[in-house]
Amino acid sequence: MKVLIEALSFEFRVSSFEFRVSSFKFQVSSFKFRVSSFKAQQSHPPF
């Protein structure tokens, strides 16, 4: 029973780590999107 609980907690830690990694990748991609849209506004002035 103890081994099962340790395995489940290990899987939980791994999945939470994967979740943190994917959310970090999402933040990075949204940051790149903001930077590219900011550069587009700079290169094409809206008037």
pLDDT at 43: 82
3-state secondary structure of 45: coil
CA distance 35 to 41: 10
Threshold 0.85, pTM exceeds? no
19-44 tens-digit pLDDT: 999 999 999 999 999 999 999 988 87
Rg (CA), the chain: 20
Q: Is the pLDDT of residue 9 over 70?
A: yes
pLDDT at 45: 63
Cα–Cα distances (Å) from 5 to 12, 26, 30, in that order, read 10, 31, 37
pLDDT at 47: 59
Give the confidence band of 1 by pLDDT, cuts at 50, 70, 90.
Answer: confident
CA distance 16 to 22: 10
